Amino acid sequence: MSKGLPTGVAAPDFTLQDTEGKPFTLSKRIGENNIILLFFPLAFSGVCTNEMCYVRDTMSTFDKLDAEVIGVSVDSFFALREFKKANNLNFKLVSDFNKETTSKYNVLDTNFFGMNGVAKRSVFIIGRNGLISYSEVLDNADNLPDFDSIQTLLKNLD
């Protein structure tokens, strides 16, 4: 597994456009709930669609665990809007089109099927204290995050 940001460090702040083109700022959400940042390579690709639909279908579990899910990709917010609509996703998606946040979290993939600059499939859980409590970066984009471990960790967070 490649390295993203380690646990125990402050989550880098960012402001990205959501699917409506409105700014979403991480620091404005810290403290309310635990936050799950799901970086994914590309909207409408097979594994990414499966991952986001899995999250959609298990959202009640994340809600019970006081976790806010934010999907992050380098797709434009226009593409993410259509992806969200097509898959009836019930959580926020934000566009890191300029790749600044993906770089801050150290999950920029330099060779995704010959494409330079998409997000590696990865997960960061940010506790109410603003620190990263969980970090998982997958080198193989065909794999999904360890959602069982994610849910177990969330059960034990304040």
User: Catalytic positions, please?
Assistant: 48
| 38-76 core/surface letters (b: 16 or more CB in 10 A; e: else) | bbbbbbebebbbebbeebeeeeeebeebebbbbbbbbbe
Give the C-alpha distances (Å, rounded to integers) separating 96 from 1, 62, 75.
Answer: 22, 23, 7
Q: What is the helix (H) or strand (E) element at residue 18, kind and residue range?
A: strand 15-18
